[in-house]
Amino acid sequence: MGTRAYICKTIDDVNCVGIYCQLDGGLNHTGRLLVADYQKGRKVNELLAKGDLLWLGKFLSPSKNKSHSFNTPQRNVSLFFCRDGNKVKKDLVAFNLSELDDETNMLNFVYVFRPGLGWFYFRPGKLSEGLIHLA
């Protein structure tokens, strides 16, 4: 069982778009990587455009001269269900952040990129306590 997370970006005052991350979604891995390596809006957009993840790595794209899949991952390269696991990619759909604030949704963390402000997170069921800034 992994530490499941949702990684999203605000698109206006009410709505977000995002992707699911199945493994290592905790603060010490995914939270740390988002702050260290995904601070630019362009890179956040590129991450979200690739779809749901098995695992977030420091790098989005593998080296072209080596194989990269769930069975043979390249070191520190993200694993995407569509690209690396041959699953169908879902389109990004706008939603209200409160839709992820349910303790029964099987998520452990929700990460929110707010352009110009950086990364924040909350634990499902605790959104009413506010977003916590990741520094």
In the chain, where are the structural domains located?
5-133
Considering only CA atoms, which of 69, 63, 98 is closest in space to residue 86?
Answer: 69
What tens digit of pLDDT does each residue of 9-36 get?
Answer: 999 988 999 999 999 999 999 999 999 9
What tens digit of pLDDT does each residue of 98-125 get?
Answer: 999 998 889 999 999 999 999 999 999 9
Considering only CA atoms, which of 113, 80, 134, 95 is closest in space to residue 9?
Answer: 113
Q: What is the mean pLDDT of the chain?
A: 94
Q: Which helix (H) or strand (E) holds 8?
A: strand 5-10
Q: How confident is the model at residue 1 (pLDDT cuts 50, 70, 90)?
A: low
Please give the backbone phi and psi of residue 2, each rounded to the nearest 5 degrees, phi first.
Answer: -100, 170
| pTM for this prediction | 0.95
> What would the two tokens of residue 58 be?
């420091």
User: Whole-angstrom Cα distance, residue 30 to residue 128?
Assistant: 23
